[in-house]
Amino acid sequence: SQTIHQWPATLVQPVGSPLSLECTVEGTSNPNLYWYRQAAGRGLQLLFYSVGIGQISSEVPQNLSASRPQDRQFILSSKKLLLSDSGFYLCAWAGGGGTDTQYFGPGTRLTVL
Amino acid sequence: EDKVVQSPLSLVVHEGDTVTLNCSYEVTNFRSLLWYKQEKKAPTFLFMLTSSGIEKKSGRLSSILDKKELFSILNITATQTGDSAIYLCARGTNAGKSTFGDGTTLTVKP
């Protein structure tokens, strides 16, 4: 069966520090991968999605970047965090080839102070 | 614009009540309408709807899509405290992306 891992679960970082959040998927090949951010009381904002290794689409201009160095690994990064980067970050995967149902990781709660 | 609008934003009911959650969406590149339940952390998948008028059912939960009027509803009958959660609606597109609404926060009191 497929599983998705995300770490760390919580993170407190000072403004201006770098960020690296990692997401890995097991039990499937060539998944679509997604990074979302969720503000308190809000829905999910799509940040990046990837349909294959090295293929990243950015949905909103921001202080973040994403990379997919391996088929089942998706990384969210920042060189210098802003206060506005605080939030709940969720990674998700979906089967490639047009499957819309997404399966989410446990999320990372990021607080930038 | 890829908009998904959910209503109400929050709802408080008592155990045993029936609730109806609403979701309206924009038609551009529409492929599917999805419902998720988010309790503490990760949203979990409930339903995917692609055809109008065909009800999907799972226990006390059911959902239906109206592609003419561009909305979907999620019904929960005989609510229990374990149904307390944020219910998210999302529109799936031909590009393989999903646009989410802001969710409905349901609180079921004993």
Could you read off the pLDDT of B21-48 as tens digits, one per residue? 999 998 777 889 999 999 988 999 999 9
Q: What is the pLDDT of residue B86?
A: 96
Report whether B70 contacts B26 (CB < 8 A).
yes
Closest CA to B89 of B50, B39, B28, B46: B46
- Name chain B contacts of A59, Cβ cutoff 8 Å: 97
Asked if the Cβ–Cβ distance from A43 to B97 is below 8 Å, we say no
Q: What is the pLDDT of residue A60?
A: 79
A contact residues 21-60, partner B, Cβ 8 Å cutoff: 32, 34, 36, 41-46, 49, 51, 59
Q: What is the pLDDT of residue A100?
A: 84
Sign of CA dihedral A25, B94, B31, B90: positive
| Option in B97, B101, B103 nearest A46 (CB) | B97
Q: What is the pLDDT of residue A70?
A: 95
Where do the DSSP E strands lie in chain B?
4-7, 10-14, 19-25, 30-38, 44-49, 56-58, 61-66, 71-76, 85-93, 98-100, 104-109
pLDDT digit string, tens, across residues A43-74: 899 999 999 999 999 887 678 999 999 999 99
Asked if the Cβ–Cβ distance from B43 to A44 is below 8 Å, we say yes
**pLDDT class of B74 with cuts at 50, 70, 90:** very high
pLDDT digit string, tens, across residues A7-16: 999 999 999 9
Model confidence at B1: pLDDT above 60: no
- Which residues contact residue A21 at a Cβ distance below 8 angstroms, ignoring those fewer than 6 apart? A6, A7, A8, A11, A75, A76, A77, A89, A91, A108, A110
Asked if the Cβ–Cβ distance from B99 to A46 is below 8 Å, we say yes
Sign of CA dihedral A97, A99, A103, A105: positive
Asked if the Cβ–Cβ distance from B96 to A94 is below 8 Å, we say yes
What average pLDDT does the structure give for chain B?
93
Asked if the Cβ–Cβ distance from B42 to A105 is below 8 Å, we say yes
Average pLDDT over residues B41-70: 93
- Name chain B contacts of A8, Cβ cutoff 8 Å: none
pLDDT digit string, tens, across residues B77-97: 999 999 999 999 999 887 778
Asked if the Cβ–Cβ distance from A102 to B105 is below 8 Å, we say no
